[in-house]
Amino acid sequence: MQANFSSIVNFTIEQDLKPILHPLPFYIRIPFTISISFLIIFSNILGINVLRITQQIPYIPRICLINMGIADLTCGVFTVAPSVIPTITGEWPYGTIWCQISGVIHSTSLTNSMYTVALVSLDRYFAIVHSLKYRQIVTLRKLKLAIIGMWFVPIISFTFPIFLESDYQYYLYQPTSYLCGCRIRYLWFLLLTAPYMPILSCTVMTYTTLKIIRKLKEDKALTEDLEERKSRLVKNMKAVKVIVISANAFAMAFGPFIIVTFVDFISNKSIKHPPILDFLCMWSANVNSFVNVIIFVCVYSSFRKNAKNMLIRFFTCKICAREKLKDKLKERENPSRFSETIESELNSQNIK
């Protein structure tokens, strides 16, 4: 394993022709990576469970958002959290095979999250702009096929380049970001992933959002005196807010990473940039994996209420379980006192 790690690091360093000294001190990067890992895992576990019981969000968008939570949770568990150890030790301890798996999972989960926002915007587009045909166009079967495709296509796309390498090492450990992340080594890979990953999803989100906003403005002018339509309009406006905020969050998180990746490929890394830029670009994309839950909390009061109640029940159960454990320990420490209390209770019942 040590030999595998050495070969990866040596190859990376040979590309840059100089040793890599991380730009961030350990007392900043270690708490940072641990915090991001915890927030991604905790927030998405909470978000998935809260979405399951939040009936105020329409069913199909809710399924899409649960899928996005699963994608972000997968990224946190299998990619972001394991990077904590390299952050501390400065070495990749998991071997080359896990590096390839981590690279595929990281790229797939981030792509899936981006697809999900586009799918939600497409669903709301048909629900609002083509409301009469919505049930014929959008079905549960089509949704299942779309979600399967959102996982299957990225997995195949990001796995295929591994088999083109003689040593099956397409994804390399990046010492500046502590991840085995996405990289572009072939022109055909750039031409394949660029259209269907950022370009297609952003085009769908932009087109559908503009159409939805235009339709909602028309409806607002016609529903000033109808309370039922007003409530529906408010619900649709919340859906648009989620789409717009999520799309902007994706653009801010992924934009720098995509630009730097493309520039590195086109220039063959002849254009030098500060090493800290690699760390910031990669981890800004990771940060987006828990931002979606914050968006739901801010926009949907029902989600916020359900999340609060779930956390209260969770911590209350923990406290109750701890008290019961203390009582059991006391019983084990003082069995004679425990038997006396039982006898006294039985005697009192017999007297009654």
Q: Which is higher by pLDDT, 333 or 274? A: 274
User: Is the pLDDT score of 339 beyond 60?
Assistant: no
Q: What is the overall mean pLDDT for the chain?
A: 80
Long-range contacts of 207-212 (CB under 8 A, 24+ apart): 208/121, 208/122, 208/124, 208/125, 208/243, 209/121, 209/240, 209/243, 209/244, 209/247, 211/125, 211/129, 212/121, 212/124, 212/125, 212/128, 212/129, 212/236, 212/240, 212/243
> What are the b/e assignments for 259-275, b being 16+ CB within 10 Å?
ebbeebbeeeeeeeeeb
User: Is the pLDDT score of 11 beyond 70?
Assistant: no
Q: How confident is the model at residue 343 (pLDDT cuts 50, 70, 90)?
A: low
- Confidence at residue 328, expressed as pLDDT on a 0 to 100 scale: 63
The tokens describing 90, both together, are 């400065």
Q: Judge contact between 306 and 46, C-beta under 8 A.
A: no
- Confidence at residue 82, expressed as pLDDT on a 0 to 100 scale: 93
Cβ neighbours of residue 177 closer than 8 Å, sequence gap 6 or more: 83, 278, 279, 282, 283
The model's pLDDT over 203-239, given as tens digits with 9 standing for 90+, comes to: 888 898 888 888 888 777 666 555 656 667 777 787 7
Query: What sign has the CA pseudo-torsion 283, 289, 294, 295?
Result: positive
- Confidence at residue 255, expressed as pLDDT on a 0 to 100 scale: 80
Region 291-295 average pLDDT: 86
* Percentage of the residues of the chain whose pLDDT score is greater than 70: 80
The model's pLDDT over 129-143, given as tens digits with 9 standing for 90+, comes to: 888 888 889 999 999
**Least confident span in 100-104, 123-127, 295-299:** 295-299
Q: Which is higher by pLDDT, 94 or 265? A: 94
The tokens describing 247, both together, are 């799309």
- Confidence at residue 78, expressed as pLDDT on a 0 to 100 scale: 93
Q: How confident is the model at residue 337 (pLDDT cuts 50, 70, 90)?
A: low
To the nearest 10 degrees (0 to 180), the angle between helices 275-299 and 301-333 is: 100
CA distance 227 to 256: 44
Q: How confident is the model at residue 147 (pLDDT cuts 50, 70, 90)?
A: very high
Predicted TM-score (pTM) of this structure: 0.80
User: Is the pLDDT score of 159 beyond 70?
Assistant: yes
CATH topology for 2-299 is Rhopdopsin 7-helix transmembrane proteins (1.20.1070)
Provide the 8-state DSSP code for 178: T
In this structure, the number of other CB atoms found within 10 A of the CB of residue 180 comes to 29
